[in-house]
Amino acid sequence: MKTNFSLLFYLKKPKNYTDGTVPIYLRITVNGKRAETTTARSCDPLQWSSKTGRLKGTKESARTFNAYLDQLQAMVYAAHQSLTEQKTTITADRLKNKLTGKTENIRMILDVFREHNRQVSTLVGTDFAKGTLERYQTSLKHTADFIKWKYNVNDIDIRDIDHDFVISYDFYLRSVRKCGNNSAVKYLKNFKKIVRICIASGWLKSDPFINYKAKVKVVDRVFLNNEELKRMAVKEFVTERLGQIRDIFLFSCFTGLAYADVYKLRGAEVIAGPDGEKWINTKRQKTAIPTRVPLLPPAVAILNKYSDSPVCEHSGKAFPVSTNQKMNAYLKEIADICGIPKKLTFHIARHTFATTVTLSNGVPIESVSKMLGHTNIKTTQHYAKILDLKVGQDMSKIRQLY
């Protein structure tokens, strides 16, 4: 990487100086940032030339003195050449440390990232979900590819992470990797956690994200309306597998459970609620937040349908759930068969519960938020949409007053 590099020998008079010799210092400047060190020499200010940075005169003592300064200068240039060949980012402090022989405790950003991922991997199943580890592993790969793309090195010193690094990384994700806005912001959010670790550990002095502003754009979430729910519920499928996928998807539509929560749901987690009806009492896989959902009649009917399934009896689980990838593949087929012109994924069931099943039928958003296992109403607002029909129903009450 190119650097603007300069050296200067100068006299540094101590405070309350009156007369006598003055120590000579060497100032190294790289890209506007300075580092200073003593030359272990001093001289009479009257003998010093600030223009040349050397002693005046041609006497043997002056030539010997200046030769020493020339040697120091040559050592700095040699250090510069060595760092360049090592493809190490050149800073004033590094040149100074190279000159003085001070050993640097260098920490590389990808090493810190890998150690973070190793710890996450160890805690998968307790503090982290498997998907969280996969996201950090993908983010690590993107970070390594970016460093190679921009700096042509395999890793970079933590201290070289600055605002330009962050902005360039953002550009790389959007242009080279072709990431959308929300994906780019999320990858940088993952990387920002690694930066925070470095700051907290004292390895990085300033936050390179301090002037980086990027926001996740609100995506218009898809959900099923009542007519589409009924159409899917009454459809007869040729294969048993499609019928099972449909049932499990509808169960999530009427309970708001995410795929991971339906997958791990056990029959023992269906209990009698305070109203005497059946409730689900479980914890969310993603956040470990308790979730309690009263079961609607369609959900109870689906639950009873699989209560005597051999697979469920053997595993203790409520449903014979396939992998998320298979579920989503079958849901696309189910949508085509049912004539639903929407790209169905299992997560759409959660949005359907929040919008069509609960909020549109007058359930307060605070109750919806609690059933979804959210800790923040803002998160629930991403799932639940207030439809024009609901607005019309609410305003009709006011219309009677006017």
pLDDT score, position 104: 65
Tokens matching residue 318? 């409520």
The answer to whether 27 and 36 have CB atoms below 8 angstroms apart is yes
pLDDT at 161 over 60: yes
Whose CA is closest to 100, among 38, 15, 18?
38
Report how far residue 238's alpha carbon sits from residue 109's, in angstroms, rounded to the nearest whole number: 54
User: pLDDT grade, residue 69 (50/70/90)?
Assistant: very high
Predicted pLDDT at 145: 97
Q: Which amino acid is at 238?
A: V
- Over residues 204-229, the mean pLDDT reads 87
Q: Does position 164 have pLDDT exceeding 70, yes or no? A: yes
| 51-60, 166-175, 230-239, 311-320: range with lowest mean pLDDT | 311-320
**Residue 1 above 60 pLDDT?**
no
The pLDDT of 160-181, averaged and rounded, is 94
pLDDT of residue 88: 72
Per-residue pLDDT tens over the stretch 360-384: 888 888 999 889 888 888 878 777 7
Q: Quick one: tokens of 135?
A: 């996201």
Please indicate, yes or no, whether the overall pTM of this predicted structure exceeds 0.75. Answer: no
**Per-residue pLDDT at 390 exceeds 70:** no
Nearest to 31 by CA among 49, 57, 4, 52: 4
Per-residue pLDDT at 103 exceeds 70 = no
Q: What does the radius of gyration of the chain's CA atoms come to, in whole angstroms?
A: 33
Amino acid 388: pLDDT: 62
| Mean of all residue pLDDT scores within the chain | 89
Cα distances (Å, whole numbers) of residue 60 to 46, 48, 96: 17, 15, 29
